[in-house]
């Protein structure tokens, strides 16, 4: 058992880069005095092996400083941490489906009152794109922490019940926001939003078969797995150093890190450049379920690692584009819902540099332009064609991480979201296929109508959301489709209404006066007249 831990349970310990590719950080005092034959640690997965991010920061000061500003740090937070709560708890009231939800604060902290029952907020989930809350029933010392049914959506500037931002809940009519919350927070949320001993992840995988990261590869069975995590053993709320690098006790004293030798590498510097190891670590969290297109592309966020794993680019690493320590730095809550948060320019520059590392001939601008059918980089980059924005994030569409070709006949034949028609909304999928010389399979779908119109009326709600967001990026084409776009404001699904409003806000350049929580055909018509 000890040998298995020492040799095989270190996938995440060496996966994400511990530091930049330059000079290594100053080693701990104990490590500096250790000989080259320093002992190998016996484990790095149990609670006793974890030391917390502050200890890591003693030596890795730059990474620690970037992490402090990152979204990873705020994936979870204690509600009593200064500045953790961004929702309006200043005696705010939301009238919803004939009842009121009330959000207050007092000397004891933050509270959410639903149908006369008060829940004390104990934790936050997320920060920039959306903030949800965890709480316990007030006055019940034995109450289980539960996920509360209303979240604060910064870009829409208000409180919303879960079906507006959680598409898995489906039909709003079947969701009772005022029923006693029954989902224990620890059954799901901390799996990706907190740091805890990796042994719990292994045990939970053994019990439930849940997980696509290193826990699914560990040749070790641990007793005690259950449907929830032991929150009392949390190392940190939020994602910190040891979520990726595993317990740092041995490393801090000169005995680690442990190597993942079955992959054939021996040095940490080599392992952190190995896409299999890096991406497996990110897959601990970025492997959520999602509806998918016919080629397997996910349509909702948090499935990025699975999408990348299904790509032909086997050497692409998550860290080629993303700094795991900065975690796409959080920034303030958005004051203007018409302008979504997006650090796309910086990510695009890193991504294109990664693309041309292998496809070096495309680093030449003229060659790249010819490859892209005459489109210059300002019109269509590698990402626009091979990683289009088809994935529903928290408050804006994000790029798919399933690197693919715009000539995929499966997507075109299914009238699915494709890179070309995401811009050429007024053209048909058949036009795209002809332009790319792609023979289309026989299909029952209409491939001759303008793609944008087809998607706005598609039975698949994810495509209606995608189309509205695509039109928001093409205002000249959107003007002619405003009546079809406005139909989304009265869609039967709450999240489609919300995302339609976000798209119309972006077209208008300002927040529009329409309450998607109380859909009205007359109000939608008045808004349409304002836009026209």
pLDDT of residue 36: 32
Centre a 10 Å sphere on the Cβ of residue 494 and count the other Cβ atoms it contains.
Answer: 25
Q: Taking each helix axis as running N to C, give the angle between helix 494-508 and helix 521-531, from 0 to 180 degrees, rounded to the nearest 10.
A: 20
Centre a 10 Å sphere on the Cβ of residue 298 and count the other Cβ atoms it contains.
Answer: 25
When pLDDT is averaged across residues 375-389 and rounded to a whole number, the result is 86
Q: For 8-23, write each residue's pLDDT tens digit.
A: 344 333 333 333 333 3
Assign 401 to helix, strand or coil: coil
Q: For 36-83, write each residue's pLDDT tens digit.
A: 333 345 678 889 999 999 999 999 999 999 999 999 999 999 999 999
Alpha carbon separation from 386 to 10, 356, 470 (Å, rounded)? 33, 13, 16
pLDDT of residue 18: 35
pLDDT of residue 86: 96
Q: Extract the runs of DSSP E, i.e. beta strands, from 86-142.
A: 92-96, 99-106, 109-114, 117-125, 132-137
What pairs with residue 300 in β-bridges?
A: 392
List all residues 6 or more positions away from 270 whose beta carbon is below 8 Å from its beta carbon: none
Alpha carbon separation from 366 to 15, 261, 374, 510 (Å, rounded)? 37, 44, 9, 38
Q: Which residue has the tokens 């119309």?
A: 504
Of 106-115, 269-278, 429-438, which range is least confident? Answer: 269-278
Q: For 31-48, write each residue's pLDDT tens digit.
A: 223 323 333 456 788 899
pLDDT of residue 180: 93
Q: pLDDT class for 260, splitting at 50, 70, 90? A: very low
Length of the chain: 532
Q: For 474-483, write each residue's pLDDT tens digit.
A: 999 999 999 9
pLDDT averaged over every residue in the chain: 85
The CA-based angle 416-375-359, given to 5 degrees, is 85
pLDDT of residue 156: 93
Q: Taking each helix axis as running N to C, give the angle between helix 461-472 and helix 494-508, from 0 to 180 degrees, rounded to the nearest 10.
A: 10
pLDDT of residue 17: 35
Q: Structure tokens of 222?
A: 């641990």
pLDDT of residue 192: 93
Q: pLDDT class for 338, splitting at 50, 70, 90? A: low
pLDDT of residue 274: 87
Phi-psi region of 437 (alpha: psi -120 to 50; beta: other; left: phi over 0): left
Q: Which residue has the tokens 């990664």?
A: 354
**Would strands 194-195 and 236-237 be described as parallel, antiparallel, or unpaired?**
antiparallel
Centre a 10 Å sphere on the Cβ of residue 330 and count the other Cβ atoms it contains.
Answer: 18
The CA-based angle 248-252-257, given to 5 degrees, is 60
Q: Structure tokens of 332?
A: 């303030």
Of 173-177, 318-322, 330-334, 487-491, which range is least confident? Answer: 330-334
Q: What is the DSSP letter of 232?
A: G
Q: Which residue has the tokens 């034995």?
A: 142
- pLDDT above 90: residue 264: no
pLDDT above 70 coverage of the chain, percent = 86
Q: pLDDT class for 105, splitting at 50, 70, 90? A: very high
Phi-psi region of 42 (alpha: psi -120 to 50; beta: other; left: phi over 0): alpha
Torsion angle in degrees (nearest 10) through CA of 163, 168, 172, 177: -60
């Amino acid at each position: 058992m000890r040998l298995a831990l020492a040799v095989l349970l270190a996938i995440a310990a060496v996966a994400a880069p511990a530091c930049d590719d330059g000079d290594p950080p100053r080693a701990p005092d104990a490590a500096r005095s250790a000989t080259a034959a320093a002992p190998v640690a016996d484990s790095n997965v149990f609670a006793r092996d974890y030391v917390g991010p502050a200890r890591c920061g003693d030596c890795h000061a730059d990474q620690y400083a970037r992490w402090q500003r990152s979204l990873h740090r705020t994936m979870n937070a204690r509600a009593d941490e200064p500045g953790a709560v961004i929702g309006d708890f200043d005696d705010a009231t939301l009238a919803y489906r004939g009842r009121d939800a009330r959000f207050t604060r007092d000397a004891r902290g933050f509270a959410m009152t639903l149908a006369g029952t008060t829940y004390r907020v104990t934790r936050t989930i997320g920060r920039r794109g959306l903030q949800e809350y965890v709480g316990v029933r007030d006055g019940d010392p034995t109450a289980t922490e539960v996920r509360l049914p209303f979240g604060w959506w910064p870009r829409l500037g208000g409180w919303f019940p879960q079906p507006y931002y959680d598409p898995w809940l489906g039909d709003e009519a079947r969701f009772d926001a005022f029923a006693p919350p029954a989902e224990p927070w620890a059954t799901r949320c901390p799996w990706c939003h907190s740091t805890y001993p990796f042994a719990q992840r292994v045990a939970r995988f053994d019990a439930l078969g849940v997980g696509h990261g290193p826990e699914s590869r560990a040749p070790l069975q641990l007793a005690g797995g259950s449907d929830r995590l032991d929150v009392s053993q949390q190392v940190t709320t939020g994602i910190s150093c040891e979520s990726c690098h595993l317990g740092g006790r041995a490393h801090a004293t000169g005995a680690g890190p442990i190597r993942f030798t079955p992959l054939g590498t021996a040095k940490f510097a080599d392992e952190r450049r190995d896409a299999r190891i890096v991406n497996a670590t990110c897959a601990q969290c970025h492997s959520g379920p999602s509806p998918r297109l016919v080629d397997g592309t996910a349509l909702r966020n948090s499935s990025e690692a699975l999408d990348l794993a299904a790509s032909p680019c086997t050497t692409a690493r998550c860290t080629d584009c993303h700094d795991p320590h900065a975690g796409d730095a959080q920034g303030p809550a958005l004051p203007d819902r018409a302008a979504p948060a997006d650090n796309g320019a910086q990510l695009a520059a890193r991504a294109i540099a990664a693309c041309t590392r292998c496809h070096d001939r495309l680093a030449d601008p003229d060659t790249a332009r010819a490859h892209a059918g005459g489109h210059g980089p300002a019109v269509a980059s590698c990402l626009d064609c091979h990683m289009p924005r088809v994935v529903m994030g928290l408050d804006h569409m994000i790029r798919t991480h399933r690197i693919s070709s715009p000539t995929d006949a499966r997507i075109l034949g299914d009238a699915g979201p494709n890179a070309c028609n995401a811009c050429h909304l007024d053209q048909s999928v058949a036009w795209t296929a002809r332009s790319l010389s792609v023979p289309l399979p026989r299909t029952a779908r209409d491939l001759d109508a303008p793609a944008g119109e087809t998607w706005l009326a598609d039975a698949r709600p994810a495509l209606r959301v995608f189309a509205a967001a695509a039109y928001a990026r093409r205002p000249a084409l959107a003007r002619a489709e405003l009546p079809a776009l406005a139909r989304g404001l009265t869609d039967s699904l709450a999240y489609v209404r919300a995302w339609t409003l976000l798209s119309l806000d972006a077209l208008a350049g300002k927040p529009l006066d329409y309450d998607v929580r109380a859909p009205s055909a007359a109000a939608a018509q008045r808004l349409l007249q304002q836009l026209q």
